Amino acid sequence: MKSWLLNGLCLLALPSLTVQAQTPIRIGEINSYSAIPQFTQPYKQGWQLAVEEINAAGGLLGRKVEVIARDDAGKPEDALRHAIELSSQEKVDVLAGGFLSNVGLALADHAAKNKRLFVASEPLTDAIVWDKGNRYTFRLRASTYMQSAMLVEEAAKMPAKRWATLAPNYEYGQSAVASFKELLKAKRPDVEFVGEQWPALGKIDAGSSLSALMQTKPDAIFNVTFGADLAKLVREGNQRGIFPKVPVVSLLSGEPEYLEVLKDETPKGWIVTGYPWDQIDTKEHASFAANYYKKFKENPKLGSVVGYATMQAIFAAIKKAGTTDNEKLVVAMRGLKFSTPFGPTEFRAIDQQSTMGAYVGKLDLRGNQGTMIQWRYADGKNYQPTDAYVKARRPAAAQQ
């Protein structure tokens, strides 16, 4: 009788175990697909490739991986609405994504309040891991501080003493300028910042901004504009003869997403962070680029790398934790080592920022297309601040 009862109970348990094994691991992905398609479409293709590869290899924990994507249209309120829906109705295990910094901060706040793991793929603001950092938010891409530090290393070698800045007037632009000023003054106490312009994102009046900056007689300009604003700035500066006469140090401007738009207007000599995809010959990158081209019949962009690496980080955390329980995933993510097309990367425990770096070089023209020359890979771990610096800015509660 006891044996019959035990066997019956085991048989009853089998269906629930089978259902659990067959239920996919669900990742909720939120991004500005309609607002910034030049970056987010390659980004989407990057994570699609990663998901296809992991499922072809048997999935995670014996389960397939499924990504449910939502478009925030570049609006924090839309991102929050999607985050609530993905968590409560779709029952996703992890949230990921974000492009604009203000959207990323809104999602990070949601993650903290709802104890939901959020892997911020693209938002670059320092606040997301420092001043407004929390236990549940991890950031993949090199921050504004890190990329500014990479550029300052080059800017400090320039004879320029009088600097002007041009940046979009929201969190990303503000933190980028603040970091650049702080780091350059530390290396070159003789420099001074003589002018600044803060156009609204997507609404730059390039002529007026450049006129105002040039009235301050700068020796060099630090630029943080991107996308359509960058194209307008370059065109206006070229027509006025400002570029390449006035040296420019510029965040993100070497990324293929933007160089493809600039084409033969690409300003020679700008010192930039970017992604010279066609010149990188490492094993990790060659494999990724070949697989990406095979699937999409196009070459990768920076967004492609970010999308792919975001999923690689999440997969590695789930494997390490052996579960999708968010509390255990947070513990697994701190100090997590994982692979990316840029090489080995890890999330440092103190601020949950990854060490994935960026490429630093100069802009040039190859035919009628912009490219990067004299580039180097700047490993992110070499451009992160000290523990003491982070502790002074990151809430103590975020370390719990």
User: Which of 13-22, 122-131, 136-145, 356-365 is predicted least confidently?
Assistant: 13-22
pLDDT for the residue 22:
76
Give residue 398's pLDDT band: very low, low, confident or very high (50, 70, 90): confident
CA 85 to chain centre: 24
Q: What is the largest CA-CA distance in the chain?
A: 95
- Give residue 10's pLDDT band: very low, low, confident or very high (50, 70, 90): very low
Tokens representing 91 are 């029952």
DSSP one-letter code for 169: S
Read out DSSP for 38-75? HHHHHHHHHHHHHHHHHHHTT-BTTB-EEEEEEE-TT-
**Interatomic CA distance for residues 136 and 398, integer angstroms:** 8
User: What whole-number distance in Å separates Cα of residue 42 and Cα of residue 48?
Assistant: 10
Predicted TM-score (pTM) of the model is: 0.92
Give the model's pLDDT for residue 226.
93
Question: What integer is the mean pLDDT of 152-177?
Answer: 96
CA-closest candidate to residue 274, choices 400, 372, 175, 155: 372
Structural domains in the chain, sorted by start:
7-143+281-357 (3.40.50.2300), 145-275+358-383 (3.40.50.2300)
Q: Which residues contact 12 (CB under 8 A, 6 or more apart)?
A: none
Mean pLDDT within 218-239? 97
Bridge partners of residue 68, in order along the sequence: 28
Given a cut of 60, whether residue 4 has pLDDT beyond it is: no
CA dihedral (45, 334, 382, 166) positive or negative: positive
Q: Which pLDDT value is given to residue 346?
A: 98
**pLDDT value for 372:** 98
pLDDT digits (tens, 9 = 90+) for 50-89: 999 999 999 999 999 999 999 999 999 999 999 999 999 9
pLDDT (tens digit per residue) in 96-147: 999 999 999 999 999 999 999 999 999 999 999 999 999 999 999 999 999 9
Count of C-beta atoms within a 10 Å radius of residue 154: 16
Q: What is the spatial distance between Cα 142 and Cα 150, in angstroms, rounded to a whole number?
A: 10
Average pLDDT, the chain: 94
For residues 17 and 233, the model is more confident at: 233
CA distance 317 to 328: 9
- Containing H/E element for 314? helix 302-321
Best CA proximity match to 183, nearest among 384, 356, 374: 384
Q: Which residues of 46-66 are buried (b: 16+ CB within 10 A; e: fewer)?
A: bbbbbbebbeeeebbeebbbb
The string of pLDDT tens digits covering residues 140-163 is 999 999 999 999 999 999 999 999
- Beta bridge partner(s), residue 60: 63
Q: Residue 18 is encoded by which pair of tokens? A: 């089978």
Question: Rounded to an integer, what is the distance from CA 14 to the centroid of its chain?
Answer: 43
H/E stretch holding 330 reads helix 326-333
The whole-number pLDDT of residue 21 equals 55
